[in-house]
Homo-oligomer: A and B are copies of this chain.
Amino acid sequence: MDTAPGRDTRWLTPEEQRVWRAYLHAVTLLEDHLDRQLQRDADMPHVYYGLLVQLGEAPERRLRMTELAKQAKITRSRLSHAVSRLEKNGWVRREECPDDKRGQFAVLTDAGYEVLRRTAPGHVEAVRQAVFDRLSPEQQKSLGEIMQIVAEGLQPKEAGADLPWLR
């Protein structure tokens, strides 16, 4: 990977520093804001809410643990803890996988769906107020492209994704 930082570090220029600081500030403020909003209205952190959303969109409102972890960009360990908590709340239920006895499904319960239905509007509104209402259409487009690029760069590559002849 040749990352060994030698004598010649490519420091950030003043302009790059401004961009980076702005990014850090925006991201931490926004995550804080949304976390508080959801903690107040739905009694759970943002990440947990995201899990319910993913399940709500999945066929039959169920996903294998690993698949859910992948979609939510969290570790399986973290997901395991999270689901345990959501299970206690009655929002999610675990089910065994008939095909693979190691496997577990996380299933969104009716109560979980109800919570989602009740709290989604407030959450969307919060996102709108904090982000979309403040950006021009061009900026929104730009933001999407930029984030897409950054995410792709960090995504653990699919096997053979860049070696199509191996598939």
Contact = CB atoms under 8 A, between A and B. Distances in A.
Interface of A: 3, 5, 9-12, 15-16, 18-20, 22-33, 50, 73-74, 120-122, 124-132, 134-135, 139-151, 153-155
B10 A128 contact: yes
Task: Provide the main secondary structure of the chain A interface.
Answer: helix
A30 B146 CA distance: 13
B142 A26 contact: no
A70 to B, nearest CB: 11
B132 A16 contact: yes
Given A128-B10, A149-B134, A26 B140 contact: no
A18 B142 CA distance: 12
A131 B143 contact: no
What is the oligomeric copy number?
2
Nearest to A50: B24
B154 A33 contact: yes
A151 B73 contact: no
A26 B139 contact: no
A30 to B, nearest CB: 6
B125 A150 contact: no
A151 B121 contact: no
